[in-house]
Structure formats: C-alpha cells, structure tokens
Amino acid sequence: MYTIDRITEVPSDLDVAFNKTINKFKKVATKLDLEPIKCDLLEKNYKKQIEFDGTKFLVTFNKYHIHGAVPVLNGWSVRARIDAGVHSENIIRSVVDVPERFRDNSTFCEHCNTNRKRKKLFLLEHVETGEWVRVGSSCLKQFVDIDEVDSIINNFENLIRFLDVDLNPEVNESYGKSFPEIINLKSFLAMVIHLTKQYGYMSGTKARELDCPSTGDDALYVLTNEHDSNKKIREEVLSNTGLIDQATAIIEYFKTIEPTSDYERVLSILAKDEFLIPRESNYAASMYITYQRIHEQQNASEQKVNEYLDLELKKRYSNMTLNLIKIITCESIYGYSYLHIFEDAEGRCVRWFGSKRLGEPGVYNNLSFTVKGFDEYKGVKQTTITRVSQK
Ligand SMILES: [Zn+2]
C-alpha cells in the first residue's frame, strides 16, 4: 500500500510544469530502484465551473490518473509535508490520510525532540511497522540517513504540490486551511486597483531594481495572508462593487484582444482562465496599468475630430485659438526650421512649417495666419497654415 493512486485535475496552463514534475520524479524513483510512477491522461481540455472567493468562473483542466510507488528512505516513506504558518494554522499537504494527532498545529520535531518555530516539517510512515513520525525539514537528512534526501524530497514535494491542486472545497477542508495556489483573477485585480490608488503602482521590474515588493506581490500577500489586518482589507475590497466592476471590465477587455506579442498572449490567457498562480502575479498586476494606458489613448483619440479647419484657402485670419501640441526641429544646411503641430479645440490637426519657432507647447489664443492648403497624412486630415504671428 505504499503507492500513490490518485486521479487529479490539473489546470491546463500548468500542464507543462506538471509533466516536467512527473518526469523528474520518475528519475528519482528509478535511482531508488522503485517502480516508476505512471501518469495516464484520462481527459483533455474540459471546462469546469469553479467557485472561489464566492465567485464562479470557468477553468480548463486535464485529468490524470497517477499511480506508482512513493519513495522509501531507509524504511521510511514521506507521507505529507507540513507548511507551518506564523500567524495561521498548519497546512498539511498530503496524498493520503494522516493520523489525527498531527492536526495539532504544533511544530514539534520528534527526531530532535524540540519545539522551536519551523517553516516546514514532514510526516513519515515506516513501511514495515506502520509507525508515524513528524520531523523538521532540517533534521530529515539525519533522520533517514540518506545524503541525497534533499533532491528526492524536492521532487516529491513538487509532485505533492500538483496533487494538491484540487479545487474541490471538501478535499481542501479535510486538509485544513489550504494556501490557495490558484487565485481568482477578479479578486486579484480588484486588490491591485485598490493598492495602486493607495500607494501608486510598482512594477515587477522596478521592484527588483529597488529590492522592494511589487504591487503584484502586495496584492498576493493581502489576498492570502491570514493576518487580521489583511482580512479586513480583503473584506473591504471584495465587497466594493466599484472595484469589482473595474476588474471585470479589465478581464473582459483582455479576453477579446488579438495578441500581437508574447506579453499580450500571457495577459490574454490569464483573462480567459480567470485565475492566476502566484508566480504570475506581476503579469496579472500589469493588466490594470496596461488597460488604463490603452484606454487613456483611446479616449484621447475618440475625442478628436478628423476634419479640415472650416476656413477658406489663401485667406488671412486673426485672433485664432490653437493648441500647440509639439514642435519638431529640422536641421538643414540653411539652418533650423520648425514643424509646429497644432490642434483646434475639437482636435482638428493643423501644421505650420517655418524658420521661426513659436514658443513652448500650450494654448495660443491670439494667432494670425494664412491658410496654405489641405492635405492628408497617414489618414489624418491636416490644415497647413503659413505666416503665423502672435498679436
Ligand atoms: Zn529536529
């Protein structure tokens, strides 16, 4: 009975990582002369409605049957990993039922008989006697007396992590309060918007430069940490319909984009899956900033009128108001000349090419000029003016 025999559902975007994990684990098993673990694909790319944080969303899964031997280390078999929370209950990650006495939230190591604070412990079962023991991760090498135990355990832990990706709430509850490896994108974005409004936006790249947490890191922390203060922010944000509506709009937008870069492809996948895993937090957070930038540009261009000025050719006008957007300086053998690009109040494009430079960009409401021509450049109707002066 020292085997794994389990049907597991893996979100399809984790499929590559899952298969890598299985293959690495097979190698470890072979080293220890164990029958390699088998992994049969039962069902591919089916959608399932999942409820998370009280929100329902569709996730694409692949279903696998995993069966084979669990590594035995000098008679001991690793049955579970315990993640000890500093402010929360222990999380027992296991593929089998563990004895009730280990659900006591303690970090007591039965190898060194001490009860100091630990982050990670293991539950081992002796394959012959059936005896169970709890050992701190730093004592494990000594306890089983195998040098390469770290590599075996690392691979086994990765496997457990995937086997734990089971979104059935009943299963999660029976293993205590589980750290959500899968985070609802809508809740996450609502948190990102809230944090950005409070503290400004910190990208993953900038955060690495400055060695501080990114907005994505912060959002993840507040959403998953069990501190009372975080619980309170979480409740506030997730019940704020304004924030949730904004998050929904962002997700809907990225669902419909035609990706033109790898970056956009990632955002599109995240939006379609409507969830993220922790290492995708900076990508997911950037959805908000990217969305805002695109929509600011769109709003600006939507307001513009693509028409010529309603003026007569070759006629001189005075007391005209134009907004100088920018000046492009051109250098030639005759010296400098300046291309001035203006807009009128409705966004009609006006250009003036002259040897004189008007001044800094901004609104000028005392201009005199003569209309020189009407032409189109890259689909934009432009009115050209000449002999421009200020009163
Ligand atoms: Zn110990």
Please tell me the distance between residue 145's alpha carbon and the centre of ligand 1 in angstroms. Answer: 13
CA distances from 74 to 118, 124, 144 (A): 24, 11, 6
* Centre of ligand 1 from the C-alpha of residue 302, in Å: 66
Find the helix or strand (DSSP H, E) in which 81 lies: strand 76-83
pLDDT band at residue 9 under the 50/70/90 scheme: confident
pLDDT of residue 191: 95
Residues 332 and 263 in one domain: no
Residues 247 and 329 in one domain: no
Q: Please indicate, yes or no, if residue 55 is contained in any of the structural domains.
A: yes
- Tokens 């904004």, residue located: 246
Ranges 49-63, 70-84, 351-365, most confident: 351-365
Residues 229 and 148 in one domain: no
> Which domain covers residue 341, as residue numbers?
316-390
0.85 cut: is pTM over it?
A: no
- The per-residue pLDDT for 53 is 53
Q: Which residues contact 64 (CB under 8 A, 6 or more apart)?
A: 7, 8, 9, 10, 18, 39, 40, 41, 42
User: Residue 140 Cα, ligand 1 centroid: separation in angstroms?
Assistant: 8
More confident residue, 313 or 225: 313
Residues 187 and 105 in one domain: no
Same domain flag for 9 and 101: yes
Segment 307-328 mean pLDDT: 91
- Classify residue 140: in a domain, yes or no: yes
Whether residue 33 is found in the same domain as residue 164: yes
Rounded distance, CA 311 to CA 371, Å? 7
Kindly report, residue by residue over 129-188, the tens digit of the pLDDT: 999 999 998 888 888 887 767 767 766 666 665 555 433 333 333 222 333 467 889 999
Structure confidence by residue, pLDDT tens digits, 367-376: 999 999 998 8
Q: Which comes out higher in pLDDT, residue 173 or 100? A: 100
Q: How far is the CA of 88 from the centre of ligand 1 (A)?
A: 21
Query: What's CA 220's distance to the chain center, in Å?
Result: 9
Same domain, 47 and 134: yes
Average pLDDT, rounded, for the chain: 80
User: Confidence class of residue 95 from pLDDT cuts 50, 70 and 90?
Assistant: low
Burial of 273 (0-12, 13-18, 19+ CB in 10 A): buried
How many whole angstroms from 82 Cα to the centroid of ligand 1? 14
List Cβ neighbours of 142 (8 Å cut-off, separation of 6 or more). 111
* Domain total of the chain: 3
Separation of CA 91 and ligand 1 centre (Å): 19
CB 162 within 8 A of CB 14: yes
Rg (CA), the chain: 31
Last residue of a domain, one of 175, 208, 223: 175
Report how far ligand 1's centroid is from the alpha carbon of 95 (Å): 23
Kindly give the distance from the C-alpha atom of residue 157 to the centroid of ligand 1, in angstroms, as a whole number.
19
The percentage of residues in the chain with a pLDDT greater than 90, rounded to a whole number, is 24
Residue 187 is assigned to a structural domain of this protein = yes
Compute the average pLDDT of residues 193-209.
Answer: 87
Our CA dihedral for 262, 263, 269, 275, rounded to 10 degrees, sits at 150
Rounded to the nearest whole angstrom, what is the distance from the C-alpha of residue 138 to the centroid of ligand 1? 7
CATH number at 343 reads 2.40.50.110
Mean pLDDT of 12-16: 72
**Residue 202 pLDDT > 60, yes or no?**
yes
Q: Which residues of 26-49 are buried (b: 16+ CB within 10 A; e: fewer)?
A: bebbeeeebeebebeeeeeeeeee
**44-53, 66-75, 228-237, range with the lowest pLDDT:** 44-53
Residue 311 lies in a domain: no
Residues 13 and 16: their CA atoms lie apart, in Å, by: 7
Q: Are residue 19 and residue 155 in the same domain, yes or no?
A: yes
Domain endpoint, select from 303, 328, 356: 303
Are 156 and 13 part of one and the same domain? yes
pLDDT for position 33: 66
CA 180 – ligand 1 centroid, Å: 28
Which residues sit opposite 124 in a β-bridge? Answer: 78, 133
How far is ligand 1, taken at its centre, from the CA of residue 333, in Å? 81
Q: How far apart are the CA of 1 and the centre of ligand 1, in A? A: 27
For strand 349-354 and strand 380-390, is the pairing parallel, antiparallel, or unpaired?
Answer: parallel
One domain for residues 98 and 195:
no
- Which residue reads 């990208």 in tokens? 203
- Centroid of ligand 1 to alpha carbon of 149 (angstroms): 15
* pLDDT for 11: 73
Q: Say if residue 127 is in the same domain as residue 216.
A: no
In tens, the pLDDT along 249-276 reads 999 999 998 888 778 888 888 888 788 8
Identity of residue 133: V
Top-confidence range, 300-309, 326-335, 348-357: 348-357
Same-domain pairing of 72 and 169: yes
Contacts of 327 (CB under 8 A, 6+ apart): 338, 339, 340, 341, 357, 358, 361
For residue 309, is it within any domain?
no
| Residues 30 and 38: beta-carbon distance below 8 Å | no
CA of 315 to the centre of ligand 1 (A): 93
Give residue 123 CA to ligand 1 midpoint distance, Å: 12
